[in-house]
Amino acid sequence: MDYIENLRQIVSTLPQPKVFTARINFMQHVCDALKSGNLPKYRFPTFELSESEIKNYLRSNMTDDESKFQQMVETLQNFDKQLGEFRTYLQVRFGYWATITDNLMDSWVKLFPDRKYLELMAGNGYISKGLRNRNMSVVCTDNLSWSAQSKTGETLITDIEQLDALSAIKKYHDQVDSVVLAWSPDRDEIDFEILKEIRKFNLEFFVIGEEYGATNSKKFWDSINVIKNPEIDELNQVYSQYDLVNDKIFLIQ
């Protein structure tokens, strides 16, 4: 069963299922956009249920039938657990790791105009797609080594030049102003090697990730200088943090 269909099926067994309709409909919008090769339009809300939501829902659906109430509690817990799997579903089904949306990219090009971008390790190309849709100059690169083992490799959403990150910097450093790297793996120190190359050419460096968390190597986080920038602060107000992963956009030296 499809992930969204499964959520609707779980909710259909609960009293007052319409309480959860808006949440599931938003998730459906995200999936529909990605299926069609587009970016989701809007900033993501938090999908998992808050403690107050759970308490209010149970309070409004109290029953004297203890077995029915217990079943409702277990179903609600299962629903909340499934909501927490949304990020994993988007990654596996669509190769969608950083939360790139239309309203984020609208803000990005407004706050950082007139750049020529190089995206490294671009995956399916969501960032480059968003920039290109807004007439920005982008060289989108990835070595595509992962694509043979991943179904998402069949659905690249923009043109991607097959180049590893270091080769891409060496080839294009004198043709671009800014480099973008999103969700670099946390157990691979390629990001540190990228950092050293970028410093050689004094390029502007945007990184999307979770500091000392789900992305990028410890060696990388230990080595960076984060640039304090009001435009980046404003951009992070638009970037979606919708679960326990605290990723954001950094401008790095």
The predicted structure's pLDDT at residue 166: 98
The whole-angstrom separation of Cα 105 and Cα 30 is: 15
* pTM of this prediction exceeds 0.95: no
- Per CATH, the homologous superfamily of domain 102-252 is Vaccinia Virus protein VP39 (3.40.50.150)
Q: Is beta strand 137-142 parallel, antiparallel or unpaired with respect to 161-162?
A: parallel
Q: What is the pLDDT of residue 153?
A: 58
What is the structure's pLDDT at 1?
Answer: 61
Low-confidence ranges of the chain (pLDDT < 70): 1, 64, 147-149, 151-154
Domain assignments of the chain as residue spans, ordered by start: 3-36+49-83, 102-252
